[in-house]
Chain A
Amino acid sequence: MSETLTELLDAEGHELDLSAGDISDLLGGRALEEEGEVDLSDVLGTSEELTSVTRRITGQYAEVLARYAAAVFAGKGAGDLPGLGPTLANLRRLSTSTGALEQAALLDRFAAIVAAASAESSDHKRQLHLNDLRDWVQRFSQTLDAQDGERLRSTVQWEAGTVPLLDELRSLRGIGPKRLARLYRAGLYTVEITANALPEEVAASTGIHLALAREVVAASRAFALAERRRCAVEMRERAARFRRILERVSLSEDPEIMDMARSALRELQGALERPGEER
């Protein structure tokens, strides 16, 4: 490694002439150079690697956030979304850990919009809150990596009709709001995540007994399968629509039709690129 490292640093214009002894001393735990008081604030402060990891994880949860947003667009209120609070709190901790304060503020804003929309009885005023939520999706997606941001936007659109959170599990005997909240707090935000968990882990993470955990996982798998079938049908319909548009494009130079084709292509690509959030 010393040769490689030396080359690497030499390429940067720093001829270091590292010896194997230097590195082994270091790896053996002894500081190589005697030094007095040193200011390590820039070394031990926010790490680029930490920032990179937190950005990726927040990006993975874009889909979970998108489903909450879609649920609100579909008419659900804060009371119907027991997992929203823990999800936002966890993501907020993640954001603040790397000083992403704008992102943390946006997460607070999301909670405020959902609360306001839920409490509003006037349809007109509720619509104003939904407009705020639409703006929020755009703004929050800009704090994510480009691909994750696009996934947030496209998933909100995709899920506005049906919302595969954990609500389906309410139909199980023994699953009420309290246990549902425990599942959420353990990070089991959606049926897909729960479908891929082991019953023993669900039991250990939430404190619910193993027999019920088995039922929860089995039901989640059934729901997830049904959801995949629904997605597959919708995907086929979109693909058919796109093929029809493409056939027209090949016969026309009309800019409007070209725009439609591009839009449909983006939509289809967004749908095809939707990754599973947690296996």
Chain B
Amino acid sequence: MLRESPWGKSMRVNAAKRLLTVKVVYDGPGLSGKTTNILALHERFPNSQCGEVLQLDTETERTLFFDYFPMYLGRVRGYRVKVDFFTVPGQSFYHATRKAVLDGADGIAFIADSTPSREEANLVSKEDMRSNIEAMGRDLSEVPLVYQWNKRDVRRPIPLDVLRQTINTRGRRRPAGHRRPQRGRVGGPHAPAGQDLRQAAWRGCRRER
């Protein structure tokens, strides 16, 4: 039997299969690096723990519907824990598709683009994410959410303070010394948003009740 958690349509528990499924969605403006993020995550985990990456993109390699892969994390007292990773298409005209993918997300990684010309696109995308979440009867502040300031290696990137003030309006930040802007390639030495998101999900879940 499939049960949803008491705090809404999230974290599906299938008692018959002894399976706990968590849905993590990468959101953000077009070309900010969402697909690259989940491809990097997929690379970092052993093949035996991950399903294949499903990419539904256009000829110009823009995500058309979404990207997806499942990851097995391990067991909790006999319950197998699986994470379904999704990305949304970033272009503004895929609004309805984004809404379908975001529905029931247990956690969101917002991938912001540090390119100066993408400042408005970041804001539009964040607002779109907020309205989608609210349309589902949820409040964005209740959804575990992490931000990744991506593409810090572009020429004159948007200052981190500006990104924090305009996008991370909830104001929760890592303590000084633990901030970790994404420098350059996602698959590089800096961990992508996935690990932060796991921790945020944990904090968010504990906040419930």
Q: Which A residues have a C-beta under 8 Å from some C-beta of B?
A: 1-5, 7-9, 11-14, 16-18, 20, 22-24, 26-33, 35, 40, 42-45, 47-50, 52-54, 56-57, 60, 90, 93-94, 97, 185-188, 193-194, 196-198, 201, 204-207, 275-279
Residues of B within 8 A of A275 (CB): 96
From known contacts A23-B202, A188-B93, infer whether A9 and B13 are also in contact, taking CB-CB under 8 Å. yes
Q: Which B residues have a C-beta under 8 Å from some C-beta of A?
A: 1-3, 5-7, 11-13, 15, 17-19, 21, 23, 30-31, 48-51, 54, 56, 58-60, 62, 64-66, 68, 70, 72-82, 84, 86, 89, 91-97, 100-101, 103-104, 195, 198-199, 201-202, 205-206, 208-209
Of B6, B59, B77, most A-chain CB atoms within 10 Å? B77
Picked from B62, B76, B92, the residue with its CB within 8 Å of the CB of A26 is: B76
C-alpha gap A205/B64 in the complex (Å): 10
C-alpha gap A53/B25 in the complex (Å): 12
A159 to chain B minimum Cβ distance, whole angstroms, is 18
C-alpha gap A192/B66 in the complex (Å): 21
Q: Is the CB of B100 within 8 A of A56?
A: yes
C-alpha gap A14/B3 in the complex (Å): 13
**Chain B, Cβ-Cβ closest to A90:** B64
Residues of A within 8 A of B18 (CB): 14
**Chain A, Cβ-Cβ closest to B124:** A198
**Chain A, Cβ-Cβ closest to B201:** A27
C-alpha gap A187/B58 in the complex (Å): 8
A256 to chain B minimum Cβ distance, whole angstroms, is 40
Q: Is the CB of A206 within 8 A of B75?
A: no
Q: Is the CB of A14 within 8 A of B86?
A: no
The 7 closest A-B pairs by CB, nearest first: A31-B74, A1-B205, A44-B51, A279-B95, A12-B15, A56-B100, A197-B93
C-alpha gap A125/B94 in the complex (Å): 39
